[in-house]
Amino acid sequence: SREAFTPGPFGLPRTTLTLTATEMLSKVNLTPDALFGGDTFRTRLALNLTDGRVFSSDNAGGIITGGFFSPPFAYSTPVVCNLDETAFVGDYLLEEITPYVDGPTFDDGGIVTLEIGDTDTERFFLTPNYPNYCSTLNDFRFLFVCGEIIIPTQESNCACGSGADFFGPSENPANYDAADDSVFFITFLNDTLSDCAPPAVTTYKLTKQ
């Protein structure tokens, strides 16, 4: 409502909208036990002006989304599973268990150190990409998403072209046990854009040291 807005630093109205999990569940007639990690709540807002115009995600152009109003009008809120900050960190033996793609993709047989990434469910390690050709270290990131290890699209620093969007998620990601970080696997799509060769599924085994 109009009363929820107050003058902002530029003299124009602004407000903060908060939606609780309980409210979102109520809107879709669900109970908490119906949720699973990976589910997503999608929220769409509409801006009703006093002159009768209505702006939302389906009709707001750049003059609105990039101007003073600056909202996308559509938001995605994922349901995530927490991961203990002490899990899946430290030194691991890295072993490639699928056939090589023009040599090993990472430092096969080497020791890497797993660290917490940008969120508590992200981990990364440093390794050369295609060490037969390149030696510069590059970070490789993966997400623990409620029983599955998802590889987000990311670059390679050793490629035939730009290396952008080189590694990505596999259709059949590896699983993990949050209570046991002694051994786990990561499975990803290698060379997603056929930069050097057709895409191939690559799997690595990580064993805690």
Q: What is the pLDDT of residues 139-157, one digit of tens each?
A: 999 999 888 999 999 999 9
Number of residues written out for the chain: 209
pLDDT of residue 65: 46
φ/ψ region of 97 (left if φ > 0, alpha if ψ in -120 to 50, else beta) reads alpha
What is the rounded average pLDDT of the residues 51-79?
68
The pLDDT-based confidence of 9 (bands split at 50, 70, 90) is confident
pLDDT of residue 43: 87
pLDDT of residue 35: 80
Please give the share of the chain, as a percent, with pLDDT higher than 70: 93
- Please name which of 140, 201, 208 lies closest in space to residue 174, comparing C-alpha atoms: 201
pLDDT of residue 21: 85
The C-alpha atoms of residue 56 and residue 60 are separated, in whole angstroms, by 6
The C-alpha atoms of residue 159 and residue 146 are separated, in whole angstroms, by 32
What is the residue-averaged pLDDT of the chain? 88
The C-alpha atoms of residue 134 and residue 159 are separated, in whole angstroms, by 9
pLDDT over 60 at 8, yes or no: yes
What is the rounded average pLDDT of the residues 68-73?
59
